[in-house]
Every structure is written in C-alpha cells, then in structure tokens.
Structure 1
Amino acid sequence: MSDAMQSHLERFPEGAIEVAQGRILDFNRAAQAQFPELAVGMEAPEFLSGSLSDPEGAGTFAHNGSLYLFSRVSGAERDLLLFRPAPQSPLTQGQLDGFVRQMRGFLQDILLEFETVSGPSRGGMDAFSKSFCRVYRLLSNLDFLRSAGAPEGVPFRPVTMDLAGLCRSLTQEAAFLLGEAGVTLTFRCALPSLLIPGDPGLLQKLILTLLSNAAKAAPGGQVVLSLSSRSGRAVLTLSDSGDALEEGSLDALFSSGQPEGQIPNPQDGAGMGLAIARHIVSLHGGALLLEERRGGLFAVVSLPTGPLSPTLTVRTPRVEENGGISPVLMELSDVLPLSIFQMDEEE
C-alpha cells in the first residue's frame, strides 16, 4: 500500500477497501487482518461482489462462515467499502431453559382456557387470545436469536427513515393499549422529524421490546419515551419518570467502547427480549445503556444519524411473519389485560 493511501484508509477503525474497475486498489490493515487473501491489483473476490453491486449500498455479506456488515461509498472512479464483523447473539443455555419453562406454562394455560370457550362466558376466549399472542411472541424471539447465530445472520435492510415518525406511530397505538393496563405512555420529542440510516422493522421491534420491559417494571404506571439529537446521534430515552441521563453516562454512549451497561433480569422471563434489543442496536452501529432505578427500568439508545441513503422509507414493505397479529399487540401482550383481547361474538 502507498504511504499516502495507507494514511487515508488507516483513519477508518473498521476494514476499508477501495475498488476501481472491479479490482482491489488498496486496503487498510484492518481489512488485511480479516481477509489475508487480499492483494492490490487482484480482481475483487466473489464474496465482495454483492457488496459492490448492492443498490442500497449497505447490508451484510458472509465469508468463511462469518457474517459482516458493510456500507459502500461510490465515487466517479472508485468505490470505498467499509465493513466490520456483525454482532453475534448465540442462544445461551439459560435462555433455552427459560424458553422451555415458559412454553410449558403457556401451553398448559392454552389447554385449560380452550376448554372453557364453549361455555357461557367469553372470558375463556379472551384468555386464549392473550396466551396465543404471548406464545407467538416467544417463538418469534427464539427465531430471531436463532437467525442471529446463523452464518447469514438476521436480515438487515437499512434505509433512510424518519425515526421520530416511527416513534410517534408506535406510541400512539401502544399508548391506547397500555392505558387499558393502567400504564400511561408519553412520547416527548421537539423535532418534527429525525432522519437516520436504519431498518424500520428491526427498530420497531427494538422500541416495542423496550416499551414492554419498561411497562412491566413501571412502579407508578408511567412510561416516558423521549427522542432527541445530540452530537450527530439520535438519542432515545425510556424511563418511568422522564428523567434525563447524567452527563457522564450520556458521554459514555459516544465513546468508542459503546458500553452495553447492566441488564436487569426480566421477572420469570426467558431473557430473550433484551438480548434481541442489544443485537438490533449493534447492527445499527449504536450503543445501549440499561439500568434499574427505584424499581423501574431506565434505558438509553444512541444511534448514528448518517451516512444517509437517498431512499426515504419509514416502513419497508416485506412479507409479514406475524400471522396477521398486530406487532404492537404481540410485543406488549405480557402486560395487557384480557379485555384487550376480547373477540366480537358472532350474531
């Protein structure tokens, strides 16, 4: 590598490769450490071909059983490819034990509740619907972590999206449902919009997962979700009181270490939800802090606001995998009352 080019590419902490006319022009030491087979002047390897032609300019690719996140900056004469290993979230034995324990309990509830459906009361059907949503959510979480541990990883499709718009849409629906459970949800944001590069489906799951955990832990029946912009980052704060994070802790979100913080143990749960939240944040190159305060949950998520794709999308069209169940209803099912799941009686 030339000294001038090496100095330029070594500024990037992740792997950096420059490609011109389908051939490797140069790369930094981080790229060489990941792919020792690279050589200046060689034709771009097959595992990089998808990254160089992807219309979105960001996503994932696999090589030798490992998954990588990439972003591409295209110029008139050359492409700059930045990549880093994708975060791994293997399913732990403790999470599997929790899954089996919960699944057995839920299935027993479903069996007992289904037997009452034919009776004069419709309460059995309401309970059946709630248990079904809880089981579906548990299976969805297990499938997410299974995908995270697979070589191809969780599908990650970042676009330029309005995070403020997504938060408003979710909290509007969630506020009504949580209100029936005695929990007041408030969204605070002074910004009309906040554009970030992100996967709308994954960020929706992240927000709903944190809302569900906060609603379970809210001692006063109050949850406050706040969104702001700070130092080129989108900062989501979730608490039972709307308190701001201390300055020192907030500064830690922008350090290179990106601490994950202390994860509270979900009460009698399988421990999957917060592991999923960590994985989604890592996919987006963000940071997550979680702690317990006065018995409630306090969470802060920091996400980068650039670089942005020219595509502006709040919701990415994709095949629905939830069987027609509302994602908000499914993710919050643990804390919602049976009345929410009441089904209309047939005429």
Structure 2
Amino acid sequence: MERTFAERLRHMRLPLVPLLPAIVVVVGVATAVAVGMLALWHLRTTADQLSSTRADVLASTLATRLRATAIEDRYDFARRAARRTGAEVLVCTQDGEIHVDATFGPPTRTDIVSLLIARQGEVQTRIGRTLYSSSPLGPPFQNTSVMVFVPAPLQPEGAQALVRSVAGLTALLIGVAAIVAFLFSRDLHADVDFVRSRIAAMADPGSSPAGEPVPIRVADQVGVLTHAFNVLVDRFTAAERAYQRDMQRVASLDRDRSAFLGALSHELRTPLNAILGFADILLSEVDGKLEADARENLEMVRSSGSHLRGLIDDILELSAIESGQLRLSRAMVDLRAIAEDVMREASARVIGKPITMTVTGDSPALVFADERRMWQILSNLVGNAAKFTARGSVSVNIEVGEREAQISVTDTGSGIPQADIEAIFDEYRQLGSSNLREKGAGLGLFIARKLVTMHGGTIVVRSELGQGSEFTVRVPVWGSGELAAAAGVEGSSRGRARILSPEGSGA
C-alpha cells in the first residue's frame, strides 16, 4: 500500500532540511578555513622575515668579530657562536674554499659560490629549511666572507592558537546553523503539514465543495504557496457558483421548452388531425361523388397535412432526444417484419414511379431493440432513398450474426458527393438542388443516427454520384439467438426475398 505524504515525511532522514542554513554552514566553514590559511601564511611569512633578519644581524656581527680574531682562534669562536645562537656558521672565500666549518654538513663549493652571489635567501640544508645571510670580513680579508644559516621555524608562533580559534569558530557556525536548520525545518514541516491537513479536509467528499480558505500563518514560500492555493480555490468556487447558476437556468429553460413543446404538440396536432380526418371523410365520398378537381385538391390537403404532421413529429422527437427524455423500450423484435411494413408504406408514396421495392435477408431477424424506434430508423432511411430515386430500385437487406445485426438500405438514386457525406447527418441540413429536393426539415438522418447510437450501434454511408447510395446500420443482437430458440424458431431462412412494387403486388 502506498504510504501517505505525511508518512513519507516521517520516514525521511532529513525531512524538509532548509537549503539556506546548509548554505550558511558551507560558506561559514569555507570562510573560516580561508581566513585560517591566510593567517597561517601571514604568520609563516612574518617568522621567515624575522629569521632572515636574525641571520643578517648574526652574519654582520660575526664578520666584525672574526675580523678582529686571530686566524687560529676563528674556528673555536665560530663553534661557540653557533652553539649559543643555534645557527650554522661557515667561513669561506669567494671562490668557495671553506676556512671554518661550524655546520652539520657544508654545501658544495658550487652551491657556496651561488649563495655568496645571492648574499641572502632560503636554502635547504641537513637541518631542514634555513634562511641564510653572508657578510664579508672586510680589509684586510676582503676575499673572505662569513655565512650564517638560521633554521626556519617549523610552526610559526601562535599557529596552534590560531588553529584552535578557527576550529572553534567553525564548530560554532555549524552548531548555530544546525540549531537554526532544526527549528526552521520543524516550523516548515508543521506549516506544510497544516496546509496538507486543510487541503485533505477540503478534499473530503463530506465537506463543502468550496471549503474555507487555508489560513496563512507564515510570510515565506509556504505562505506564498498557501495564498496561491487560496486564489485557485476562490476561482474554483466562483466557477462552481457560475456553473450552478447556469445549470439552474438551463433546467428552467428545459422545463419551459418541454412545456412549450407539449402545448405546441397539443395546439398543432389537434386541429391538424381534424383537418386530416375531414379530408379522409371527403375523399371517401360519403357525401357524394367528387369531381376530379375537388379530389385533387383534397389529396393536396391530405398530403400537405401529413407532411406537416411529420415535421411536427420530427421536431418533437429531436427535442426529446436532446433533452434526454427519450427512453428506449427494448424487447425482442423482428427486423424483417419491420422492414416489410416500412416498405409497404413507402410503396404507397412512390406510386407512379418506376421503382422496385425489395426486402431480402434473414427471416425472422430477431434483435433486442425498441420496435418503434427501429421502425422510425428504417422509415427515415427508406423514405430518404425513395425521395431521391427517380427510377430503379430501393432494397433493404437484413443479416443477423452472433453479436450484431446489419441492415443495408440501397438505392439507385442520384448519389451524394463525397464532400457532403458527413453533412447529411447534421440537423436541419438537406442536400441537393431546389428542383430535386422535396420539402422537409432536414432532421430524418440526424434523428436516425441518434436512435442508432442510443441502441449502441453505428450507421455508415457509401455513395457515388449518379450510382446511388448504401446506408448500413449495425446494432447489437444482445442474446437474440437464445430468445429466438425459446420462441420455437427453427432457424433463419436466408436468401428469401420479398418484392413490393409501387402497385402493391408481392412475390
């Protein structure tokens, strides 16, 4: 199980260690070390200068004393001076010949000449690093010089005290930084945990969606983050309130639309049904034989009324679909029977046209669907095919598989341009020129696709200009095989066809 953020923080070795105290520690230690090294260098330089000055003073003093000392006594004098001063003494000529050697090991003759030329400086001898100085004895010994080698101090005076001071300062800086880091980390952890707990409380399903703003307890990065979160919460709250207002407005408009459509259905259908009823009564010639002109006029009244009733039904159907009020009433239905019923009705509308209406495929073709809506889908497709077919045929083929049923409506009409294939399913959209297009609201194919989608199916179209179109509907069968067997259906009669001519003859 994944641990929560708080649990991970508790198990971290250094939870939320601030970067600033760590930087202070690093910079402080680096500064202390740099200051210590600079001080040690200064002490060493000062000690070397003192040793060099001492060597110079000793060389001058010994040169003066040795000049006044007998030659045979110079060795003893130089040895005593070396013991008393702790330095090494060497008396030699300018060409490197040694007269008195009071050292632990004299340099070579070549080195002596080089040292005499330099007169003073630093040299490495057997006693270690030394600072030397040379001074001539003077007349009458101008060719003789005395060289004094003073050992350089291994550790400058005060170096240990300086190292202890630097170490103490470093320890103090680290201690202070550690305390500050601990306190800062503790407060930061508490602030972050507080913000986390408030956010978690706001995310609780039982809490208010908007929640209360998170209090800003500190004026640091956590405070800035908290402020930004509060601003975001305020924006979400404002958006939610606007959404609720919009939803209430939409619900009110939807209720008003439903009421309006209900009133429209009643107010339009009632007189329209009366008109159609009286037209049918007059056409039945119960009051006497009709003249040809009167019959033609009544047929026009009935046709226009039926067309208007279809438009009203389409608009009400579209409203029910868009508002979500339309519900499917599923049952086992025979698509073959529905198709034949639709084709019989369509045949009556194309009387006089050289069109053959054909139904082929499985019989029975059982699926679990809404019978009324499947009839409406087929009626829209077949009616649309018959509308744009001047001569030829309109056929419906039905095939039922194990999982889905396929209904194909094929015509030999004018066809559809490829660029307009998708547009035909748009609401209030009709294609074709005005002389070919019959009157309509352009809702048939739009409603058909919506109803197919509600059944969990698909509808596709293939068309070629001048060659006709084919609409293919696929809907799930949903266990129709088992129900068909339970109903005593022995099997499907494939290849069986029924032809409906405009005159109503069947074969």
Q: TM-score, normalised by structure 1?
A: 0.47
**Structure ranking higher in helix proportion:** 2
Q: TM-score, normalised by structure 2?
A: 0.33
Pick 1 or 2: higher relative contact order, CA cutoff 8 A, min separation 6: 1
Query: Which structure has the larger Rg?
Result: 2
